[in-house]
Structure 1
Amino acid sequence: MGIHLDRARAHFGRDTTGMLEGGRYSLVHTRSLEFDDLRPYVSGDDVRDIEWKASARSGNVLIKRFVSEKHHKILVVADAGRNMSATTPTGELKRDVAANLAGAMGLITVRRSDEIGMVFGDRRGSVDIRLRRGETHIEYMLHRFQEHATTGPSMSHVGTQLDWVARHYRHPLVIFVVSDEPDVDDRLHDVLTRLTGRHDVMWAMVSDAPAAGSIEDDRNGFDVGDGGFVLSDDLGADVIDAYRRAEVERRQHLSEFMTAHGVPHAMVRGSLAIRNAMLSMTGTYARAG
């Protein structure tokens, strides 16, 4: 694997069993090209699947068993704008966590032989990497994403990328959105309505470090635009407490908005939370299929 996939695997692990099973838009195959094991032949089996050499050695007629799979076409839609230069509550750069999330989805597709592509960008527009299979292709996607996110990105606006997908991708897909926590507004409502009418959508939201320090961490957050602190202790305890309550309410409203649109979602505080987030989202996805 390449450097980006290796980094994702270090946080996500190797086991992808059961992930992305089901869903509305699977291409069902009675068998895949992935060999599983051998078993005794029974009446009704396809004689083309008999393993003649193993049968001769064992003295019994043995048949190849293949993994039964549902294959998907998966599109990662990622914010590569300036917001992803901020830090998470764990101190990581958001773009690194986002790349690890996209890499985790790539790792899931490798074992399943799913096709995967990527649309990323900022307010200026979108880069569209078409669907392919394999580790080399996924590593290329992740490299292009990181290159964009680290070399003078413009303001973030993931709605720009979602609108691009809604206008250019007509065939049903599994869409995996990776961004910061979006603002709930009419434009987001409209584009999600269009997307969920045709595609399966999941959304991983990389959390910002809090603007005001918490009990566990008393560091105040700063704006990635000018480096200035967002909230200062000089504002007083009442203002800080009001901010924290507003943040809880905002996140609750965002979660309810996603649920109302039928979008499995997760807030991801850092790379160590990626595996549980992916299990949560893909589990909800499978039950919805």
Structure 2
Amino acid sequence: MGKHLNRARSVFGSDTRGMLEGGRHALLHTRSLEFDELRPYVPGDDVRDIDWKASARSGDVLIKRFVSDKHHKVLLVADAGTNMAALAPSGERKCDIATHILGAIGLITLGRSDEVGMVYGDARGSSNVRLRRGESHVERLLQRYHDHSAQQRNPSDIACQLTYVAEHYRHPMLIVVVSDEPEPDPTLEDLLTRLAARHDMMWAMVADLPAVAVGPDGGLDVATGRPVLGVAATDPRVVAAYRRAEQQRAARIDEMLTRRGIAHTTITAGDDIRSRLADMTRVYTRAG
């Protein structure tokens, strides 16, 4: 495996059994590449499956039968803006945790032969990587996200990436969003209503290090470079109000996603990834 997949495996582990099973309609039936047997043609069979050489030898029209398997089409939607340059409560960079989350989803898809693609970016726009299978493809996805999030200087706006998905991805699939904790505004709510009506969705959010835990000025906002609380960080009333506001925002996010049937979780550290994703995928499976 490549370095990013190896790092994800060191955090997430290698056992992906049972994850991403179920779902409402993103689960697709396809033929595997493994040939099973020949059988007589039945009206309604796909004529592309006729084995003409075997049919000529037997005198009957014979169909190739393939081992049936199931897989998802999985689209990763990732925030690569400045918000992901901030620190998580563990002290790790949020973009590093996000890369491990994306890698963990990639490991799950490899175990199921799923197709996986990615839309990532910031407020400036979105980059799109087409759906494909395979270890080298997943490693390239992770490298592209890592390189972009390490170099970008543009504000985060996950609504920008979700708008791209709503406009360019019409066929049902499983969408896995990886971002910071978004602001639940009307634009985002409208996007989620549109997307959840067509696709299965999950959302893994990487938590911010609380401003009141950073220092005497409440730390700096990575998007603006300005102190979050400034001199008011020493006022207990301001600190208490800040904590209440964050709790209320988290409750609004939870309500927004739950109401639309979107399985979700908040991750505070790389060490939390396996347990949090396992819980989230169980919710997703039960929703099917």
Counterpart AA for 2:204 = A
Residue of structure 2 in register with 1:266 after alignment: 265
Q: Deviations over 1:97-133 (max 9, x none)?
A: 1111100000000010000000000111100000001
Residue of structure 1 in register with 2:28 after alignment: 27
Instruction: Give the 5 Å matches for 1:88-237.
Output: 88-213=88-213, 220-225=218-223, 227-232=225-230, 235-237=234-236
Give the conservation status (yes or no) of the 8 Å contact 2:205–2:265: yes
Q: Equivalents in 2 of 1:272, 1:68: separation in Å?
A: 36
Give the conservation status (yes or no) of the 8 Å contact 1:106–1:138: yes
Instruction: Give the 5 Å matches for 1:42-81.
Output: 69-81=69-81
Deviation for aligned residue 1:32: 5.3
- Root mean square deviation of aligned Cα: 2.4
Give the conservation status (yes or no) of the 8 Å contact 1:22–1:70: no
Deviation for aligned residue 1:223: 1.5
Deviation for aligned residue 1:253: 1.4
Q: Equivalents in 2 of 1:268, 1:234: separation in Å?
A: 25
Q: Deviations over 1:55-94 (max 9, x none)?
A: xxxxxxxxxxx99753100000000011110000000111
Q: Equivalents in 2 of 1:70, 1:208: separation in Å?
A: 37
Q: Equivalents in 2 of 1:69, 1:249: separation in Å?
A: 44
Deviation for aligned residue 1:231: 2.6
Q: Equivalents in 1 of 2:218, 2:131: separation in Å?
A: 41
Q: Equivalents in 2 of 1:147, 1:234: separation in Å?
A: 35
Deviation for aligned residue 1:27: 1.5
Unaligned 5+ segments in structure 2 are 39-65
Aligned length: 259
Counterpart AA for 2:172 = P
- Given the two structures, how large is their TM-score scaled by the length of structure 2? 0.84
Q: Equivalents in 2 of 1:134, 1:231: separation in Å?
A: 46
- Given the two structures, how large is their TM-score scaled by the length of structure 1? 0.83
Q: Equivalents in 1 of 2:285, 2:32: separation in Å?
A: 19
Give the conservation status (yes or no) of the 8 Å contact 1:86–1:93: yes
Counterpart AA for 1:120 = Y
Counterpart AA for 1:244 = R
Give the conservation status (yes or no) of the 8 Å contact 1:75–1:174: yes
Give the conservation status (yes or no) of the 8 Å contact 1:184–1:257: yes
Residue of structure 2 in register with 1:248 after alignment: 247
Q: Which has the higher strand share?
A: 2
Q: Deviations over 1:23-71 (max 9, x none)?
A: 1221236x8568xxxxxxxxxxx878xxxxxxxxxxxxxxxxx997531
Inter-CA distance 241–106: structure 2 relative to 1 (3 Å threshold): same
Inter-CA distance 72–192: structure 2 relative to 1 (3 Å threshold): same
Deviation for aligned residue 1:192: 0.6
Inter-CA distance 200–3: structure 2 relative to 1 (3 Å threshold): same
Comparing 271-280 with 173-182, which one deviates more in the overlay? 271-280
Give the conservation status (yes or no) of the 8 Å contact 2:19–2:282: yes
Residue of structure 2 in register with 1:56 after alignment: none
Query: SS of the counterpart of 1:212?
Result: helix
Residue of structure 2 in register with 1:39 after alignment: none
Inter-CA distance 281–219: structure 2 relative to 1 (3 Å threshold): farther
Deviation for aligned residue 1:222: 2.3
Give the conservation status (yes or no) of the 8 Å contact 1:28–1:69: yes
% identical equivalent positions: 53
Unaligned 5+ segments in structure 1 are 35-45, 49-65
Inter-CA distance 67–13: structure 2 relative to 1 (3 Å threshold): farther
